Amino acid sequence: MLKVDVEKNFNNFELRVKFEVENEILVLFGPSGSGKSTTLKLIAGLEEPDRGSIVNQKVQFFKRSTKANLAINKRNIGYVFQDYSLFPHMTVFENIAFGIRGRGLDKLEVKRKVNNLLTNLRLEGLSNNYPSELSGGQQQRVAIARALIIEPEILLMDEPFSALDTLVREKLRQDLLRVHREYQIPVIYVTHNLTDVFVLADQVAVYNQGRIEQLGSKEEIFYRPRTRDVARFVESKNIFDLVVEEVDGKFKLKNENLTLFAESKKELSMGQEVVAIIRPEFIELVTAEDEKARASENLYSGVLHKKLAKGAITRLFVNQFSQQGFDILIDVLTTRARDLNYGSELKFKIPPAKVHLIV
Amino acid sequence: MYWSPIYLSVKIAFFSTVITTIVGTLLAWLLARGDFWGKDILSSITVLPMILPPTVLGYYLLTFMGKNSFIGRFLEETFNISLVFTWQGAVLAAVIVSLPLMIRSVQSSIESVDQNLENAARTLGKSELSIFLKITLPLSWKGIVVGIVLSFARALGEFGATLMIAGNIPGKTQTLSIAIYDAVQGGNYQLANFLVILISTLSILSLLLLNKFLDIEKW
């Protein structure tokens, strides 16, 4: 287990984070400049914390109070950089072998280890190529192999796939999941890509301005964001400031544009201000036939004025509060969205149980 | 008589370049990557020989390395080496004047090596020395080659500081540049022309060769 509890001050920025990682993939997620990469550098020893401690298993990487600061090259950490940072003057083979050169292994042993990784990361046949002759995806796989050869106790990855196109990214995510299953070590993965979070994360730490705003499973982050910013970062999209009007069974929430019923276990009182969050995929379109059969609460209508196809699903922008130019965003299957025309009136329903409240 | 100054100059330039390359590369590395007190001062001192007149440098060398100086006496008594009026003195003069060229060239080369490459090597468990030898040095080879060529040329043409410390002893410390000066002073234009054409041709050839060499894209 890796335990991190550190502070680092820059001119006008202060990083203060605390978390623990088991043999799982922890994704550090958040806007750029929020301190994610700095956290990796502190763990690796590329930067020194101003306060706090970092402990891996029982090994003290850093502790301010005892002045303990283990040298970078003694921490046994795999680090994968955003720009790959392969050694341009070495072949793929030499790049991967670099970490175990000079450790007293005989040539055959080195070759065997490198070849294993070449196979594992789909790099066969490229061992004599130079990095400049490889595609971005290949380069990043070499970088991962190079980091893994020293059998690191922790793997740190700084936006590793951000420069790659979607298809290559998807393949590399699968590579990473496979490698993680095999090596069973903590992986800390920095990204601002939501799909990365969804595919890779066992745990997510949502960063904002040098703090971890929420730490939890991806379900918690996506469906139960703790703050407005987290809701925004995970693209909850429909975020409303409302005031509690009734607390009788369901909550009745209201502002000048919207009345919304919500079910929640939270304790709310009359007149309290809350933030209501409804993810676009939770809003249901209602057709004329089944309209009467449904409960009448949280039933709205609006004008469709924009469609954004995102592959299998399409995001609808429905102008419910025309005078404010305020949109409700609804995700529907693309096959369904095809039949919907611009300017047409849509009826939709927000299930009260799907409304998440932030107090 | 014709060849003695040429041989001497090449010998001095050779030894000077060897020393300059080693010392200059290490200093360049310290200045590019080091983080220590007095770095700015060291950086200024290494440029100084480019700014000071060669005669001033020569005078400093005479003062601090001469027979009556502490260092001069130490060298004389311990190693039986005298720097005044000897070819070794001329080597020292050449080293001093060519070091700034070497350092500037290698330093900017090292500074252009991506530090993340060095960081990557650190995380792979490598020592600083190993990183310098395996990563930084091979990636700054162009700067080192340029530095070697410039230093050699500078050493070959050195005049002022050499004259001050090594003097003008034909066959012993009379280098090419000094021989040319001497020939012109003595009205021996035949010798002067020969030496001037020779050194000009050599210089042009070495620059052509250097450009050719730097065009090679290794990776």
Evaluate whether A273 touches A281 at the Cβ level (below 8 Å).
no
The CATH number assigned to the domain holding B141 equals 1.10.3720.10
Q: Residue B83 is encoded by which pair of tokens?
A: 């720097």
- Residue B114 and residue A85: Cβ atoms within 8 Å? yes
Residue B194 falls within a domain, yes or no? yes
Predicted-assembly ipTM surpassing the 0.85 threshold: no
- Residue A102 and residue B130: Cβ atoms within 8 Å? yes
Q: Which residue of B114, B116, B122 is in closest CB contact with A73?
A: B122
What is the spatial distance between Cα B60 and Cα B54, in angstroms, rounded to a whole number? 10
- Residue A99 and residue B117: Cβ atoms within 8 Å? no
Q: Is A282 on the interface with B (CB under 8 A)?
A: no
Q: Residue A138 is encoded by which pair of tokens?
A: 């290949």
pLDDT digits (tens, 9 = 90+) for B4-15: 888 899 999 999
CA distance A16 to chain B (A): 24
Check residue A296 and give its pLDDT. 67
Question: Locate tokens 């009826």: which residue?
Answer: A347
Report residues of chain A scoring pLDDT below 70. Answer: 288-289, 291-296, 321-325
Q: Which residue of A76, A83, A89 is in closest CB contact with B125?
A: A76
Check residue A294 and give its pLDDT. 60
Check residue B117 and give its pLDDT. 96
DSSP letter for A322, please.
G
Evaluate whether A121 touches A146 at the Cβ level (below 8 Å).
no
Residue B52 falls within a domain, yes or no? yes
Q: Is A104 on the interface with B (CB under 8 A)?
A: no
Which residue from A58, A78, A65, A79 is spatially nearest to A6, judged by alpha carbons? A65
Q: Within 13 Å of residue A322, how many CA atoms lie on the same side as its CB?
A: 8
CA distance A258 to chain B (A): 52
- Residue B219 and residue A87: Cβ atoms within 8 Å? no
The answer on pLDDT for B217 being more than 80 is no
- Residue B121 and residue A98: Cβ atoms within 8 Å? yes
Phi-psi bin for A84: left (phi > 0), alpha (psi -120 to 50), beta?
A: left
Which chain B positions have a beta carbon within 8 Å of A72's beta carbon? Answer: 119, 122-123
Check residue A135 and give its pLDDT. 93
CA distances from A165 to A152, A162, A175, A313, A325 (A): 28, 8, 15, 20, 34
Residue B219 falls within a domain, yes or no? no
> For chain B, how many structural domains are there in total?
1
pLDDT digits (tens, 9 = 90+) for A308-352: 888 888 898 888 765 566 788 999 898 888 888 888 888 888 888
CA distances from B60 to A93, A214, B54, B73, B82 (A): 53, 67, 10, 16, 16
- Residue B123 and residue A44: Cβ atoms within 8 Å? yes
Q: Is B219 on the interface with A (CB under 8 A)?
A: yes
Host H or E run for residue A156:
strand A154-158
Q: Is A44 on the interface with B (CB under 8 A)?
A: yes
Q: Please, which residues 126-145 of chain B have a Cβ atom closer than 8 Å to chain A?
A: 126-127, 130, 134-135, 138-139
For B86, counting Cβ atoms within 10 Å of its Cβ (0-12 exposed, 13-18 middle, 19+ buried), the class is middle
- Residue B139 and residue A73: Cβ atoms within 8 Å? no
The residues with which A345 forms a beta bridge, in sequence order, are A303
Tell me which of B124, B127, B133 to substitute to probe the interface with A (most A C-beta atoms closer than 10 Å).
B124
- Between chain A and chain B, the number of residue pairs with CB atoms below 8 A apart is 59
Residue B17 falls within a domain, yes or no? yes
Which chain A positions have a beta carbon within 8 Å of B123's beta carbon? Answer: 44, 46, 72-73, 75, 77-79, 147
Host H or E run for residue A61:
strand A59-63
Check residue A263 and give its pLDDT. 87
The residues with which A314 forms a beta bridge, in sequence order, are A309, A332
Residue B68 falls within a domain, yes or no? yes
A129: nearest CA in chain B? B219
What is the spatial distance between Cα A259 and Cα A276, in angstroms, rounded to a whole number? 11
Which chain A positions have a beta carbon within 8 Å of B125's beta carbon? Answer: 73-74, 76, 99, 103, 150
Which chain B positions have a beta carbon within 8 Å of A77's beta carbon? Answer: 123
Check residue A260 and give its pLDDT. 87
Which residue from A210, A252, A248, A202 is spatially nearest to A229, judged by alpha carbons? A210
Q: What would the DSSP string read from start to end of A11-23?
A: TTEEEEEEEEE-S
Q: Which residue of A46, A89, A146 is in closest CB contact with B119?
A: A46
Evaluate whether B109 touches B30 at the Cβ level (below 8 Å).
no
Q: Which residue of A46, A99, A132 is in closest CB contact with B125?
A: A99
- Residue A85 and residue B119: Cβ atoms within 8 Å? yes
Q: Report the b/e string of B2-24 with b at 16+ CB within 10 A.
A: eeebbebbbebbebbbebbbeeb
Q: Which domain holds residue B128?
A: 3-214
pLDDT digits (tens, 9 = 90+) for B99-151: 999 999 999 999 999 999 999 999 999 999 999 999 999 999 989 999 999 99
Please provide the distance, in angstroms rounded to a whole number, between the alpha carbons at the two ends of chain A: 33
pLDDT range class, residue B83, cuts 50, 70, 90: confident
- Residue A85 and residue B130: Cβ atoms within 8 Å? no
HEC secondary structure over B27-54: HHHHHHHCCCCCHHHHHHHHHHHHHCCH
pLDDT digits (tens, 9 = 90+) for B49-68: 999 999 999 999 988 888 88
Q: Is A74 on the interface with B (CB under 8 A)?
A: yes
Q: Is B179 on the interface with A (CB under 8 A)?
A: no
Which residue from B177, B153, B151, B150 is spatially nearest to B163, judged by alpha carbons? B177
Least confident of A143-152, B186-195, B203-212: B203-212
Which chain B positions have a beta carbon within 8 Å of A78's beta carbon? Answer: 123
- Residue A87 and residue B130: Cβ atoms within 8 Å? no
B99 CA to centre of own chain = 5
Which residue from A191, A164, A179 is spatially nearest to A122, judged by alpha carbons? A179
Residue B129 falls within a domain, yes or no? yes
The phi, psi pair for B115, rounded to 5°, reads -65, -20
